[in-house]
Structure 1
Amino acid sequence: MLMLLTGCNALPDSGPTEAQVNHTQRDPKKNTVGYGIVQISLDLITLLESESPALFTSLDADNTPRNPGKNDTVGPGDILQVSIYEVGSALFSPTNAGMAAASGGVNIPGASTASTLPPLNVDGAGNIRMPFVGSMHVTGMTTTQVAQAIRTQLKQKSQSPQVVVRIVSDIANSVMVYGGVRHPSRIPLTPNREHILDVIALAGGEEHSNESDEDYIVRLTRNDRIAEMPLKVIENEPAQNIVMQPGDRVQLTFQPRNFSVLGASGQVTETQFTTPTLTLAEAISRVGGPLDSRADPNAVYLFRYENADILRRLGMPIDENATTGPVVYQLDMMNPNGYFLAEKFMMRNGDLIYIANSSSNKFYKFMNLITTILSPGTSMGGIAK
Structure 2
Amino acid sequence: MKNSVYLALLAGLAGCATLPSSGPTGKQIESSAVAPKEGVPIQVIEIQSAADLPAGVVSTSPAAILPQAASTPTDMVGPGDVLDINIYEAGVTLFASSSPATAAGQLSAPGVQVQKLPPTRIDDLGNITIPYAGMLHVGGLTTAEIEATIRNSLRGLSQNPQIIVTLNQAITNTIIVGGEVARPGRLVLQTNRESLSDVIALAGGYRGNSKDLMVRIMRGDASADVRINDIVENPALDVRIRPGDRLMLVDDPRTYSILGASGRIEQVPFRRSAVSLAEAIATAGGTNPNLGDPAAIFLFRYVVDAEGKEVPRVYHINMMQTGAYFIAQKFTMQDKDVLYFGNAAANQPSKLVQLISQLFSPILTVTSAVSVIQNSNN
TM range (shorter): 0.7 to 0.9
Distance in 1 (CA, whole Å) between partners of 2:235 and 2:34 is: 45
Counterpart secondary structure, 2:199 = helix
Find out whether 1:92 has 2:100 as its counterpart.
no
Please identify the structure whose Cα radius of gyration is greater.
Answer: 2
Amino acid aligned to 1:148: A
Residues 1:3 and 1:359: Cα distance change in structure 2 (over 3 Å): farther
User: Match for 1:11 among 11, 16, 19?
Assistant: 19
Summarize the Cα distance change of 1:176–1:33 in structure 2 as closer, same or farther, 3 Å threshold: farther
Match of 2:294 in 1: 297
Instruction: Return the letter of the residue paired with 2:288.
Output: L
Q: Give unpaired runs (5+ residues) of structure 1.
A: 313-319, 379-385
Task: Specify the code of the residue in structure 2 equivalent to 1:107.
Answer: A
RMSD: 2.8
Unpaired segments ≥5 residues, structure 2 = 1-9, 365-378
Q: Which residue of 2 aligns with 1:316?
A: none
Q: Deviations over 1:120-172 (max 9, x none)?
A: 12122211112111100112211001011111222322333211111222222
C-alpha displacement of 1:106: 7.4
Conserved in 2, the CA contact under 8 Å of 1:281 and 1:342?
yes
For residues 250 and 284 of structure 2, the distance between their equivalents in structure 1, rounded to whole angstroms, comes to 28
Match of residue 257 from structure 1: 254
Which residue in 2 is equivalent to 1:370?
356
Q: Give the equivalent residue in structure 2 for 1:173.
A: 173
Counterpart of 1:26 (choices 25, 34, 46) is 34
From 218, 226, 249, give the equivalent of 1:229: 226
Distance change >3 Å, CA 18–CA 186, structure 1 → 2: same
2:341 corresponds to 1:355:
yes
Shift in CA distance, 122/216, structure 1 to aligned 2, threshold 3 Å: same
In 1: Cα distance, 2:350 partner to 2:16 partner: 9
Deviations 1:159-202 (A, max 9, x none): 33211111222222222222222222122223442222222222
Taking a change above 3 Å as real, the CA distance of residues 106 and 131 of structure 1, as seen in their structure-2 partners, is closer
Letter in 2 for 1:26: V
Q: 1:325 aligns with which of 287, 311, 318?
A: 311
Tell me if structure 2 keeps the 8 A contact 1:34–1:326: no
Query: CA separation in 1, counterparts of 2:250 and 2:107?
Result: 68
1:5–1:356: structure 2 CA closer, same or farther, 3 Å change rule? farther
For structure 1, which segment, 223-232 or 349-358, has the greater mean C-alpha deviation from structure 2 after superposition? 223-232
Amino acid aligned to 1:152 = N
**1:5-154 alignment, distance < 5 Å:** 6=14, 9-30=17-38, 32=39, 34-40=41-47, 41-45=49-53, 47-49=54-56, 51-59=57-65, 65-94=68-97, 107-109=109-111, 112-154=112-154
**1:276 aligned onto 2:273:** yes
Q: Secondary structure at the match of 1:303?
A: strand
What per-residue deviation string (whole Å, max 9, x for no partner) do you get for residues 4-54 of structure 1? 995674223211111110111022324x37532112231133x513x4232
Counterpart residue type for residue 266 of structure 1: G
Which whole-Å CA distance do the structure 1 matches of 2:244 and 2:133 have between them? Answer: 30
CA contact under 8 A between 1:296 and 1:357: conserved in structure 2?
yes
Give 1:377 shift: 10
1:14 is paired with a residue whose SS is coil
Q: Secondary structure at the match of 1:354?
A: strand
Structure 2 CA distance for partners of 1:184 and 1:33, relative to 1, 3 Å? farther
**Equivalent pairs, count:** 353
Secondary structure, in 3 states, of the residue corresponding to 1:10? coil
Shift of 1:70: 2.8
Q: Deviations over 1:284-341 (max 9, x none)?
A: 11221101111100111111222x14xx4xxxxxxx352x222111111100111111
The residue aligned with 1:336 is 322
Aligned residue number for residue 163 of structure 1: 163
Q: 1:189 is matched with which residue?
A: 189
> Quick check: 1:176–1:187 contact (8 Å CA) kept in 2?
yes
CA distance in 2, matches of 1:175, 1:203: 11
CA displacement at 1:98 relative to structure 2: 7.2
Change in Cα spacing, 1:279 to 1:179, as seen in structure 2 (3 Å) is: same
Q: Which runs of 4+ in 1 moved over 4 A?
A: 2-9, 97-101
Contact map agreement 1:57 1:239 (CA 8 A) in 2: no
Does the CA-based 8 Å contact 1:259-1:270 persist in structure 2? yes
After TM superposition, the score normalised by the length of structure 1 is: 0.83
* Residue pair 2:65, 2:224 contacting (<8 A) in 1 also: yes
Give me the whole-angstrom Cα distance separating, in 2, the residues matched to 1:33 and 1:190.
56
